[in-house]
C-alpha cells in the first residue's frame, strides 16, 4: 500500500494557530517565523486567528506552548527555534528539553504542534533550513484538520 503525500495547499481559514518563537539565534528564528506566516497565509489562515508569542530560548518554548494549549483557544500550535551546537554539552540538554517538552504538550493536551526547532551542528546548516518554519506550520494545520 502506497502512502499518499499531501503537498497541495488546503483551506485552513477556520483554524486558530498559536506560534511560539525563540529569540535566541534570532537571525534564524525570524526567518523561520516569516516562513511559517507565509505558509499560514497560503492556507488562508486569517491574521486575526494567529497569535505569536516570543520567548528567550528553545528551552522556554514548551512552557509557552503549554500556556497556549491550556487556553483551548487554538486548533494547533507551531514551535520555532534554533539550537546550534557549540563547544559544550549544553547543546545536547537544550535539544532534549525542547524536543521532549514540545512532545509532552502535544500529547498531554491532544493538540497538534508543528515542530520547527532546528537543531544543527553549524550556523550554515541552520541557515539552509530557515524555510522549515513553513513545513512546521503546514504539518500543524494538516493535523488540526484531521482532528476536527
Q: Which residues are catalytic?
A: 90
CA–CA separation, 22 vs 68, rounded Å?
15
Cell of 61: 518554548
Say how far residue 78 (Cα) sits from the centre of its chain.
3
Among 147, 148, 146, 145, CA closest to 45: 145
Q: Which of 102, 101, 98 lies closest to 78 in space, CA to CA?
A: 102
Amino acid at each position: 500500500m502506497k502512502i499518499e503525500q499531501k503537498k497541495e495547499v488546503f483551506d485552513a481559514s477556520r483554524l486558530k494557530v498559536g506560534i511560539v518563537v525563540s529569540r535566541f539565534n534570532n537571525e534564524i528564528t525570524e526567518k523561520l517565523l516569516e516562513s511559517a506566516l507565509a505558509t499560514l497565509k497560503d492556507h488562508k489562515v486569517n491574521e486575526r486567528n494567529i497569535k505569536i508569542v516570543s520567548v528567550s530560548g528553545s528551552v522556554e518554548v514548551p512552557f509557552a506552548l503549554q500556556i497556549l494549549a491550556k487556553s483551548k483557544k487554538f486548533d494547533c500550535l507551531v514551535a520555532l527555534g534554533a539550537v546550534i551546537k557549540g563547544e559544550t554539552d549544553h547543546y545536547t540538554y537544550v535539544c532534549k528539553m525542547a524536543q521532549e517538552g514540545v512532545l509532552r504538550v502535544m500529547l498531554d493536551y491532544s493538540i497538534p504542534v508543528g515542530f520547527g526547532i532546528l537543531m544543527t551542528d553549524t550556523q550554515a546548516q541552520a541557515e539552509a533550513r530557515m524555510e522549515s518554519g513553513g513545513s512546521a506550520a503546514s504539518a500543524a494545520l494538516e493535523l488540526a484538520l484531521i482532528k476536527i
